Amino acid sequence: MATMVAELVGYFLLSFILSIFLTPITIIFAKKTGLIAKPRKDRWHSRPTALYGGIAIFFAFIIPFVIATPIHENENLLLMSGACLFFLIGLLDDFLDFSPQSKFIAQLICVVLLVGFGLKINLPGYPIISICISVFWLIGIANAVNILDNMDGLSSGISMVASFSLAAYGIMFGIPQVVLPAILLAGACLGFFVYNFKPAKIFMGDCGSLFLGFTLGGLAIVSTHLHQAQLGGEEFFAGMSNIVLMLAVPISVLIIPIFDTALVSLSRLQSGRAISQGGKDHTSHRLVLLGLSEEQAVVTLMIAAAAVSGVTLYMAAHSMEGLLAVMSITVVIAIFFGVFLSYLNKDVYEDREGAKRSRIVDAMAAILNKRQILQVCLDLFLLTVGYYSAYLLKFDGQISPFNQGLIEKTLPLVLGVKVCCLWAFGLYRGQWRFASLDDTFKIIKATLVSSVIIVGVLVFVYRFQGFSRIVFFLDAIMTFLLIGGIRFLLRMFNEYFIRQAEKSHSIPILIYGAGDGGDLFLRELRKRRNHDYLPVGFIDDDIAKLGQEIHGVKVLGIGSDLEKIIKRYGIKIVFISILSSPFPLFESIKDKCAKIGVKCIQMRPLVSFEKIEPVNSRDRNKTGRVLSLRKT
């Protein structure tokens, strides 16, 4: 084992050294020959940058690959041939600027030939499905990595993470055909990443991104060539559902390119744009719009890719059923994060009025607008995952055939009762963007009532024989966590990125009043994007509130500390958020601020209840409800 690790480290260093040596040579050559990418309106970079960095990545990978691997073996030969072909397609496209259709046809011809010679997913018994999925996968991943090359260091960084993940997968499951190429690719990507991270000195171009995409897709296909004994014996491929298990790890390893391609494609379709059209509408660009720096956006996506890959690899080694549950939850979170990012479409696409909408786009929009149907479908999926997860937790990640039979027998009952209870308690009448504490109470009540009904029916019909009480207790917990958690995801995303955006604001403000008015003012301030205010802290006359926080903003002192706090934190504006503050208080604070040269603004309530005519007993009905309110 130690010898193998030392050998892999040696090859990794060889690839890394070649890449870090060849990249600056490519930069010099590109600058001398005028092969420079100039800034454009639909591109992110703001200064001329050298092109064709993919040449350095390609040779840093292919040279040690030819030296270290027996090329006569079919898989190695096909992988090398495909990598060379996609590198040439990308290189010619960089020079000649092919149309999207021409580039796709060239890729399709190459992939069909490679799949025909044996580079395809291992699905014994399903040859047609294997061929179709393999063709779609290789072309899709190659172009997904190509599309991902939209910010300094992003494509090379994500490819490096994916390569390390595939190498770890190959080591864990004994697939040497994957380990060495993945390690070499990781070294080549790391060497290039040094020059490609912001501020980038070179771009990889299509010759690099298409090469990386195909090689990663090809390695993912080779990773499916596991022995049946490693994945559960002859019955592993017995059903169509096992195709998902076979593809779970490759999909998770490459989840960021897949996610970005799906987001960009759907957003452009929705806005009436061609999918092949360039633009600043990628995941990384939207993260920057939300307040992250370019470096933070790239590193965030790399960490997300590494986290998903790490959890997936762990579950793949311990429980394939658990892997499905984890992947299901990951997909749901990815969908909701995509929905959250799609709210930025109006900021990303400034010329929406001139865009044409296709019938497909209109049909998709009509389906997506049926939110209650989508909510029910998503809840059915989550409830299924939660029920399976309860059995996995109870029986240490393994579901026996007997328990599998119980799940199949009771799942329709569980789903039907729970969805009906969620509907009865009003969960499908609200919008998830505005999930509140009231929704939490509804979920708790629906979960408890549905669990009681389900257990009662099982006792009456089956006398609860063979069932575990712990399973249904765990199922109730999973139901609450999944149904409740997913409804607060959009709010969580929004709160996090608002905090990130605030860090870049340059006008420090102080909020006077840490009560309901201060809470309301801070929440309303954070809903508005077009301002540059940075809430530094609260100040309040109640000494008991000192040191407390409201939405992450601390109470810094009491009224007598006003001048000291203003000077200490460089406050520019003081907002008085005490909605019922007397006029002398405002004048007093205003005078103090004026002496220091700080602006003071008093927030007014939307409705002045003091000016509303009092309601007498004749204005109330028998139940005591107010019939009318008239403003003077």
Give the pLDDT band (50/70/90) at residue 357: low
Give the pLDDT band (50/70/90) at residue 123: confident
CB-CB contact of 215 with 248 (8 Å): no
Lowest mean pLDDT of 206-210, 219-223, 229-233, 306-310, name the range: 229-233
Is the backbone of residue 542 left (phi > 0), alpha (psi -120 to 50) or beta?
Answer: beta
Strands 49-50 and 36-37: antiparallel
In this model, does residue 477 exceed pLDDT 90? yes
End-to-end Cα spacing for the chain: 86
In this model, does residue 620 exceed pLDDT 80? no
pLDDT average, residue stretch 125-146: 89
In this model, does residue 231 exceed pLDDT 60? no
pLDDT 10s digits, 162-217:
999 999 998 888 888 899 999 999 999 999 999 999 888 999 989 999 999 999 99
Q: What is the pLDDT at residue 235? A: 43
Helical axes 371-394 vs 359-369, angle rounded to 10°: 60
Higher local confidence (pLDDT), 502 or 599:
599
CB-CB contact of 179 with 170 (8 Å): yes
Lowest mean pLDDT of 233-237, 253-257, 349-353, name the range: 233-237
- Distance, in Å, from the CA atom of 325 to the CA atom of 383, rounded to the nearest integer, reads 11
Most confidently predicted of 152-161, 268-277, 550-559, 571-580: 152-161
Higher local confidence (pLDDT), 606 or 39:
39
CB-CB contact of 42 with 279 (8 Å): yes
In this model, does residue 629 exceed pLDDT 50? no
Q: What is the pLDDT at residue 238? A: 39
CB-CB contact of 242 with 130 (8 Å): no
Q: What residue spans in the chain does CATH classification 3.40.50.720 cover?
A: 506-611
* Widest CA span in the chain: 97
In this model, does residue 625 exceed pLDDT 50? no
CA distances from 453 to 386, 420, 457, 463 (A): 17, 11, 6, 14
Higher local confidence (pLDDT), 525 or 89:
89
Backbone angles phi, psi at 290, to 5 degrees: -80, -5
What percent of the chain is modeled with pLDDT above 90?
Answer: 34
- Distance, in Å, from the CA atom of 499 to the CA atom of 310, rounded to the nearest integer, reads 27
CB-CB contact of 292 with 504 (8 Å): no
- Distance, in Å, from the CA atom of 301 to the CA atom of 284, rounded to the nearest integer, reads 8
pLDDT 10s digits, 84-121:
999 999 999 888 888 888 899 999 999 999 999 989 88
Most confidently predicted of 135-144, 234-243, 388-397: 135-144
Give the pLDDT band (50/70/90) at residue 62: very high
- Distance, in Å, from the CA atom of 542 to the CA atom of 515, rounded to the nearest integer, reads 10
- Distance, in Å, from the CA atom of 173 to the CA atom of 122, rounded to the nearest integer, reads 15
In this model, does residue 125 exceed pLDDT 80? no
Average pLDDT, the chain: 82
- Distance, in Å, from the CA atom of 254 to the CA atom of 182, rounded to the nearest integer, reads 13
- Distance, in Å, from the CA atom of 120 to the CA atom of 52, rounded to the nearest integer, reads 30
pLDDT average, residue stretch 2-31: 90
Dump the DSSP string for 293-304: -HHHHHHHHHHH
Higher local confidence (pLDDT), 217 or 332:
217
Lowest mean pLDDT of 42-46, 68-72, 447-451, 598-602, name the range: 42-46
Q: What is the pLDDT at residue 228? A: 43
Which of 415, 407, 403, 413 has the alpha carbon at shortest distance from 379? Answer: 415
Backbone angles phi, psi at 614, to 5 degrees: -55, 150
Integer Rg of the chain from CA: 30
CB-CB contact of 53 with 203 (8 Å): yes
- Distance, in Å, from the CA atom of 568 to the CA atom of 557, rounded to the nearest integer, reads 12
pLDDT 10s digits, 549-588:
888 889 999 888 888 998 898 889 999 888 766 667 778 8
CB-CB contact of 291 with 300 (8 Å): no
In this model, does residue 36 exceed pLDDT 90? no
SS3 state at 343: coil
Q: What is the pLDDT at residue 180? A: 93
SS3 content of the chain, % helix, strand, coil (to 5): 70, 5, 25
Q: In this structure, what DSSP letter does residue 548 have?
A: -
Half-sphere exposure of 418 (CA within 13 A, CB side): 31
Which of 331, 432, 417, 420 has the alpha carbon at shortest distance from 382? Answer: 331
- Distance, in Å, from the CA atom of 495 to the CA atom of 303, rounded to the nearest integer, reads 20
Q: Is the pTM of this model over 0.85?
A: no
Half-sphere exposure of 168 (CA within 13 A, CB side): 18
Q: Which amino acid is at 316?
A: A
The CATH number corresponding to 506-611 among 3.30.1360.30, 3.40.640.10, 3.30.70.100, 3.40.50.720 equals 3.40.50.720
